[in-house]
Amino acid sequence: MPTWKRRLAYLIATLIVVTLGLASRHFGSSLPTLLADYAGDSLWALMVFFLVSCLWPCRQIALRAAVALSFAFLIEASQLYHAPWIDSLRATRLGGLVLGFGFLWSDLACYTVGVVFGAIVDHWITTQGVRPLTKH
């Protein structure tokens, strides 16, 4: 698949994941507790994986996953730091969505799930290909 098509596919996947992530936050009270508590963080990491893949679509999946997971873990670790300037960024909607608010060990597990899921799906699609449904 040409590089531009890969980038486009990752961009579309990113937009879908962002939509699902925002929906998981907006409709959290209507979701089962497990999904309401953890889906948003897992989807956030999946979005990071797809964004990294947009930047480097032809790199190995494992490398893209490692970069995405490292980025997600660094953002989570940054939540241990509280200075007025960064807390004021976190107080904005976009800043809160990107930077988060407080460190949680469970977020690291969610990020791992999100990135690993993305890597598995990416591997499956690139090795199996997406085949159109046909009637037999």
Report yes or no: 45 and 113 within 8 Å, Cβ to Cβ.
yes
Higher-pLDDT residue of 135 and 74 is 74
> Is 133 in a helix, a strand, or coil?
coil
Q: Which residues are CB-contacts of 53 (< 8 A; sequence separation ≥ 6)?
A: 6, 10, 64, 118, 122
- Does 132 have pLDDT greater than 80? no
Q: What is the mean pLDDT of residues 27-50?
A: 93
Is the pLDDT at 113 greater than 90? The verdict is yes
Distance CA 74, CA 22 (A): 22
Determine the pLDDT at residue 41.
Answer: 95
**Euclidean distance between the first and final Cα of the chain, in Å?**
27
pLDDT score for 131: 63
**pLDDT one-digit tens code per residue, 58-101:** 999 999 999 999 999 999 999 999 999 999 999 998 898 888 88
The two three-digit tokens of residue 94, written as one number: 């976009």
Give the pLDDT mean for 42-69: 97
Indicate yes or no: pTM above 0.75: yes
